[in-house]
Structure 1
Amino acid sequence: MPKNKGKGGKNRKKGKNENESVKRELVFKEEGQEYAIVTKMLGNGWVEAQCCDNVKRLAHIRGAFRKKVWIVQGDLVLLSLRDFQDDKADVILKYTADEASSLKKYGELPENTKINEGEILGEEEEECNFDFEIDDI
């Protein structure tokens, strides 16, 4: 067998994620755009998002985001609305937790919006207390 002469595999080729430390300018919505919270991951680059105008839309994650920006359930995203399809949109930006809280401070988001608090929408943790003994079973 030939001797390996390379200096690493695919993880080395990808490089380090250097854009985490870079502080970017806060982007506000414009005409034809809407803030939304991802409610469900559908697969194949599609998500279900609850927009701030109380409309559920199917949103497509554009190609530049597919493997570079990971979008999960509960994330705040900026959608570009489609003129020809009201129930579909395109994800053009994902907000970090700091940016989402800044948007809430500026009054861009409704007050009842839950943003990146580590909990999945619709699921709340409840304590379950069972009183039984091993002998009862």
Structure 2
Amino acid sequence: MADFRKKNAQEVNLNATNPDGTPVVRVRLPKKWNNEQFAIAQTMHGANHISVRSLDGVTLMGRIKGKIKKRAWIREGDTIIIVPWSFQEGKCDIIYRYLKPQTDWLRKNRYI
């Protein structure tokens, strides 16, 4: 059983590159069925609140959810995934932050 685990661990190469020399990037895309969408962080307001501008041009007040609050720092200009609130207009939850290589990949593949 231990040999099986070692073999699988060896097969995963964290420094893998594509044939053109660029690093392999894994990117989470918004789930349309969950009403998720891309946005850009604009202004920090403190107390886990950020003004965000979605790709359709609407400015919303975003709240950083607890799961991401502890794990990722969100700064102005970051690309994020938001979920607009169904019960109050103009507000949303921030559920994911993209890193620079992930944002570059999204732009290269015309997602944003």
Shorter-chain TM-score category?
Answer: 0.7 to 0.9
How far is the alpha carbon of 1:27 from its aligned partner?
1.0
| Structure with the bigger percentage of strand | 2
Q: CA deviation at 1:25?
A: 2.8
* 2-structure distance, mates of 1:24, 1:90: 25
**From 71, 81, 105, the counterpart of 1:102:** 105
Q: 5+ unaligned residues in a row in structure 2: which ranges?
A: 1-13, 16-23
Equivalent residue, structure 1, for 2:45: 42
Structure with the bigger RCO (C-alpha within 8 Å, sep 6+) is 2
Measure, in 2, the Cα distance between the counterparts of 1:90 and 1:29: 13
TM-score w.r.t. length of structure 1: 0.60
TM-score by length of 2: 0.72
Displacement of 1:33 after TM fit?
1.0
When Rg is computed on C-alpha atoms for both structures, the one with the higher figure is 1
Equivalent residue number for residue 15 of structure 1: none
Q: Where does the alignment leave 5 or more consecutive residues of structure 1 unmatched? A: 1-20, 110-137
| 4+ residue segments displaced more than 2 Å | 21-25
Distance between the aligned counterparts of 1:87 and 1:103, measured in 2?
26
| TM superposition shift of 1:39 | 0.5
Q: Could you give the per-residue CA deviations for residues 63-121 of structure 1, whole angstroms, max 9, x where no partner exists?
A: 11223211111111000122122311101000001101111112111xxxxxxxxxxxx
Deviations 1:27-66 (A, max 9, x none): 1112211111111000101100011010000000001122
Match of 1:75 in 2: 78
Structure with the larger helix share: 2
Q: Superposition RMSD on alpha carbons, in Å?
A: 1.9
Aligned sequence identity (%): 24
Quick one: distance in 2 between partners of 1:66 and 1:26?
A: 20
